[in-house]
Structure formats: C-alpha cells, structure tokens
Copies of this chain bind each other. A is one copy, B any other.
Amino acid sequence: MKKLIICIFLVTTSCYFASAQHPSFLFTQDEVNEIRAEKGKVPAFDRTISETLGAADAALKSPISVPVPIDGGGGVVHEQHKSNYYAMFHCGIAYQLTGDKKYAIYVADMLEAYAKLYPTLGFHPLHLSPVPGRLFWQTLNESVWLVHASIAYDCIYNALSSKQRTNIEKNLFIPMADFIMNGMGDNHINNETFNKMHNHATWATAAVGMIGFAMDRLDYVNKALYGSDETGKQGGFIRQMDYLFSPDGYFTEGAYYQRYAIWPFVIFAQCIEHKMPELKIFKYRNNILKKALATLIQLSYQGEFFHINDALEKGLSAQELVYAVDILYNADPSDKSLLSVAKEYQQSYLPTIGGFRVARDIEREEANPIIYRSGIFHDGRKGEQGGIGVIRSRDSKLNSALTLKATSHGLSHGHFDKLTIAYYDNGNEILPDYGASRFLNIEAKDEGHYTLENQSFAKQTIAHNTLVVDENSNFDGDIKQSSLYHSDIVYSDFMKNDFQVIVARDTNAYHGIEMKRTMAYVTTSFLQYPLILDVLQTNAENAHQYDYPLWYNGHFVSLNFPYTKAINELRPFGSQNGYQHLWLEAWGQNSNSNTSSFTFFKGNRFYTISTATTPQTELKMLRLGANDPKYNLKNATAILVREKNKKNHTFATSIETHGNYDVVRETSDNLASSCEEVKVVIDTISYTAVKATYKGGHSVLLCLCNIDNNKEKTHSLSIEGINYTWNGRCGIFMK
C-alpha cells in the first residue's frame, strides 16, 4: 500500500507547477543551496544539521499516530500531537536539506492522517480553557501546531500531488485556519482572540498568515496582517507590532512571557520578509523586534529571566530565543553580542541560513561580550506606563543585579506587586521573586496548569518584596482595578561614579496612600561589596498597618535581637491575601538597638539586612507552606518588618553583601556584618535623609528630595551640624 502511494506521487509531482515559490518560510531555495554548499565548514552548524536529520530519522522510525484528543498538557495524546508537529517540522526541513523523499512522504502521510481526523472533531473534550481548541484543549496550542505544520508543508509542497494538496488543504488547513480565525458553530471567541492585541493573537495570526502564504491564499494573509476586517485598525500582526511592545521593546507581561510572545513574531516576520520583502518587516517601528530581543537579554540574570509576574525558570537557552537570535541576527548582523548569547546559553542553532551564519560568525570569533547595563525598561505602548528599573554592578565580575518593578499590571499574568524589588548576586537569587506557582507539563499537578496557589499566593502582594498595607494586596487583588493604573519610575541615575539609583512611585495600589521607593546601589571604599540602600516611604491620609517583607534565599545565621522561635507548634501568620500560606516561624522586637539586623548566607557569601526599627516594631520570620493541601508551594522564607498604626512611615534598610566562605578550604572572613546603625535622620514632606553607619567610623548618608525630580536642581540639608549639598533627587555622602 505504501509503495503504491510512492509511485503515484512520483509520477504526479513532476507535472505540477506551483504558482508561488517553495520553500520560502524559514528559508528560500537559494538559502537551502547555500546551506548545502557550506556543509562541513562549520562543525557546530553541521551538528545542528545532524541533530535535525537525527530527529527526522527518529520520527520516521515510529509509526504515524494521530489519536483522538482526550487530555491536557503533559497527557499522552496531547504530547503525541505536540511531538507530531515537531516530527513534521524536522522531516520537512530534512527533505529540503537532503532531497530524500522519504521525509516528504512521512509529512504527507501524517498530514493526510490529520486531514482524516480533523473534520471529525468538535471542541476538545477537556473544558479547561475559555478559548477551547479542537486538537488541543486550547486554541493557542492549535495555532502553534499550525505554524509548525505550515513550515513543514512549505518544505514538502513541491513533493505533493495536487490531489494530496487539495485533500490536506480542504480537510485540514482551511478548516483549522477558519477555526483559529473565526471559531466554530456559535462559539466565536476565537475571532475575538484573533483580533486582540495579545500574544495568543500573535500565534493565531502567524498560523493563519503562514498557512495562507503556503496555500497562496492572500485573503488569509491579509486578515493575518491586518485583522479579520483587513483594515489594520483593530487587529492583525502589524498592529500587534505597534501595540504589544513598548518603545523600549518591553512586553507588558514580563520577560518570561515575552520569550513566548517573541517566537511567533520572529517566525512570521521571517516568512513575511521572504514573501513580502517590500514590507521591510524587520525595520518596522524602528526595529522593534530587534529591540524586543535586546530587552529580553537585558531582563535576564545568568541566562535566566528575572522572575517578574507568572515566570517559571526559563531563559536565554529557550528555543524561542534560538529563533529570535538566529532570525534577527540574520536580518541585521550588526549586534555581535547576539553571538555570545548563542555561544554561552544556546549552543544550538536553527537549521536555517540564520543559524548557519550565527554558528559561522561565532567560529570566526566575531562574538562580542554581552553588556548588561543598568536602565529603565518602560512599559506601555508609548512607554508611558512605568517600567522595570534594573541596576547592574559596573564591575561585571561582581555579577549582581537589582530590579525595581513599577509597571502596569501585565494582563492576566501580572502580579499585584507594585514597587517590588529583587536582588541577584554571585549566581544566586538572594532576595527572590517567587514567580508563578505552576508545574508546567506535570499532569499530576493540576494538569500542568497554574495551581490554585498561583492566585492565592504567588500573585498576592505579600509574595513579593514590597509593602503590604493592612494585610491586603494592591487594588484589593482586583485585576480590573489594577489594570487601570500603573506605577512610575520617577527618577533614575546610573551615571555617578559611586552610586546608581532608581526611584519609583505609586499612588493607586492602596487607596489614599502614596508609596515611594528609592533603591540605591552604592560603591564604598570600606565595604567588601557594593551596598544596597532601600528606602520605602508611605504617606497616607489615615493610620495603617505596614508590612515590609523581604523574601530571602539562604540559611538563617543570626538576628541581633532576642527572638522566639515556634518550637512545638506552627500557625499561619494570617488568614487571607496570601498570609494564610505563611507559617509564623519566629518573632521578636528589638529593645536593644534602633537597628534590627538579620544575617543569612547563600553559596560562599553572607548577606545582612539591617533596618531602622523601634521597640514597637514587630519582626517576623516566615516560611511558606501553610494551607497548601496539595504540596503545591515551594519552600521559601522571609523576614517581615511590621509597623502598626502609622500614617507616614519610612522603612530604611541597608542590605550588605559580605564575607568569603569556603567550606572545602575551611577559610572564612568578614562573616559578620559591618553595619552598626540605620537611621532616618530627616523625614519631612520635602526631604528624607537616611544614615547608615558601618564599622570603623564609616557611614553612608542618602539624602532624598521627595518632591522634585529635576536632575540639575541643587538641594542642601544641614544634618548633625554639617551642610550637605547635591544636585537632583538623590545625593550620597560617604565618610
């Protein structure tokens, strides 16, 4: 039977002439020829080709299985359909690279099997998504399937008979594209999604546009580019490029989802570049895709994305980034640091001309180091909705990063964490952001979806290193309210020799309360590592309880005040808004000193948090895990500073990195903190000054003007009989 098909197909393909060029998606015929010609010249790329062919050969060995949909992410059938699109993708490319028809036949057979199955499918039997698919539990996965199948189809198009093409297009691609674009029956939710300014719509438009190109159906292409009304005024891929990134190339959901979002952008853009070069898609909006990639790289630490919002542990090694780096480097090879991204984190390449050129130019030693820079990554279509501030150590050997988040909500994946900070140092997350509560693809864990604790804990304000008022989350945890507002980065200065600083402000997250946060990163002559000063100010109409939590990653070493540890019984710290998930592990108040210090260690370094307190300040040590009936929460620990019945309050904290600790060599030094005192010495409407004192008679004085962001303006304060004068919102004085 199989033999018969081969014969028919050999006869028929030779008499078919395509109206459009194939292949023309990931590569053109010229590019395929170049790849073939360069074989053996760049070993790393040869390996990529071998891997692609190996994956194709492995696919060929297993019988074609196109089962009826039944399960969710991580389930056997779900994974089969996923591995099928990879199989077609690899075989399609293998056909182009080798000319061996066996690969084309495999793709054709599989597509025909799908053409048989697809018309029989109603909606997927699992009702888990508001946007259900047919082949998958959500339409999103169906779009991803179609993007890959389109590429495979483009690769083998010329090897198919017109009868085969007619069958596959009529029974599979057209109904699937129509479904993705319009929905099915009375359910038109897909049409809404298709025209949204949302990353799911990017997949949908890429899928419909690419299969449109493949079938030479310009109506599909136009709807993909300009929305289903073809005007470009409501939906479509081009408008997504205008709306889904800020002018800095930041995607509002944060880096983790920006990784996912950029994939269909670069794939479809590559297709468009080949099919409609007149659109100059890679130059569109001042090279917005190139900027988006640069921003993704900047929002990573040791190759992993900052854990903003619903983030899991992914980073520059993700396959989406391989697409982005190889396609965008090929489009514009001027940024040679992209080669370092590929070299340090990916070590794999697309089997395309872009992949080849990246591999080749790495071998030619053209890579420049990745320069991680301090900066503000603005949120909002026009960059007007706050942003994420990042401070990097200027000495790249220090390997530190600080983030301050003051963005808009970030759509459905956003967290309620205005003005949250995170600190990465020495290869570790030191003051971490929990990210998402999700066990991706682990079916036993809520089918791999977000767990209930993502809502009840991970998204809540208390899960983050920021202020919680009256044990309530920002905007009462109401996403609709939160989506109406954004915080602002009101000031930043990364140019000074001895300090960098970011100031953010929010007036909406808590009704009637203004929060300001100043994060300064100070290089002193007397401390081993740069110092972080964190000043979190509240101004409120009424009295409130203020909680200042810092989640820490490391082992507890010491507190500088007497504390009680829960010995025989652990109880939750609160009852709602995430507090129900916290075990209260220890507590105390500090009557000995006006500065409370906590030291922990991680890896071979120590970290000491010293914060200005009074004997009334309550200090709590917390551990995550209460009210977690299914073991969904990870182990995590926090220190929390509680001020009760305050209108205005300034939390002033020194975060000191210190010590060398080598258990193997049994050497250690500087394990005890140098910080002796942190004190708010001035706190008026106009000015706040915080003085942190260190061993040896040293101090750092941080002077803040609270109301003026003009960088040129001169301010002065008299403190302890000395006059301090500085320009701009923040001045630092060291002794």
Which residues in A have some Cβ–Cβ distance to B below 8 Å? 74, 79, 82, 312-315, 317-319, 439-445, 555-558, 565, 567-572, 583, 585-586, 599, 601, 623, 625-631, 634-635, 661, 663-669, 671-672
Contact = CB atoms under 8 A, between A and B. Distances in A.
A443 B79 CA distance: 53
Contacts of A669: 79
B629 A565 contact: yes
Nearest to A627: B567
B442 A671 contact: yes
The count of identical subunits is 2
Q: State the majority secondary structure of interface residues on A.
A: loop
Q: Which 9 A-B pairs have CB atoms at the shortest separation, nearest pair first?
A: A556-B631, A570-B570, A441-B668, A444-B558, A565-B629, A444-B557, A567-B627, A318-B664, A635-B635
Contacts of A317: 664
A237 to B, nearest CB: 24
Contact of A666 (B440, B625, B661): B440
Contacts of A665: 318-319
B444 A567 contact: no
B663 A312 contact: yes
Contacts of A557: 439, 442, 444-445
A565 B635 contact: no
A192 to B, nearest CB: 26
Nearest to A555: B634
A556 B630 CA distance: 9
Contact of A444 (B315, B441, B672): B672
Contact of A583 (B79, B315, B570, B572): B570
A557 B623 CA distance: 20
A624 to B, nearest CB: 11
Contacts of A570: 569-570, 583, 626
Contact of A668 (B442, B572, B599, B666): B442
Contacts of A667: 79, 82, 441
B443 A565 contact: no
Contacts of A625: 585, 623
A288 B689 CA distance: 68
A626 B565 CA distance: 9
A628 B565 contact: yes
Nearest to A74: B668
Contacts of A567: 626-629
Contact of A565 (B74, B571, B631): B631
A607 to B, nearest CB: 13
Nearest to A571: B569
A557 B446 CA distance: 10
A601 B448 CA distance: 14
Contacts of A445: 557-558
A477 B665 CA distance: 32
A583 B583 CA distance: 12
Nearest to A557: B444
Given A668-B74, A669-B79, A661 B444 contact: no
A635 B558 CA distance: 17
Contacts of A571: 568-569
A79 B314 CA distance: 41
Nearest to A673: B444
Given A318-B665, A585-B625, 14 more contacts: A79-B667, A315-B664, A317-B664, A441-B668, A441-B671, A442-B601, A444-B558, A444-B671, A565-B629, A567-B628, A567-B629, A568-B627, A570-B583, A635-B635
Contacts of A630: 565
A312, A570, A635: which has the most chain B beta carbons within 10 Å?
A570
A443 B671 contact: yes
A592 B67 CA distance: 31
26 contacts: A74-B671, A79-B667, A79-B669, A312-B663, A313-B663, A319-B665, A439-B557, A440-B666, A441-B661, A441-B667, A442-B661, A443-B671, A444-B557, A444-B599, A445-B557, A445-B558, A555-B634, A556-B631, A565-B628, A565-B629, A567-B628, A568-B572, A568-B627, A570-B570, A585-B625, A623-B625
B661 A443 contact: no
A674 to B, nearest CB: 13
Nearest to A558: B444
B314 A664 contact: yes
A623 B144 CA distance: 42
Contacts of A568: 571-572, 626-627
Contacts of A555: 439, 631, 634
Contacts of A558: 444-445
A585 B570 CA distance: 11
A74, A625, A664: which has the most chain B beta carbons within 10 Å?
A664
A440 B79 CA distance: 48
A454 to B, nearest CB: 15
Nearest to A260: B666
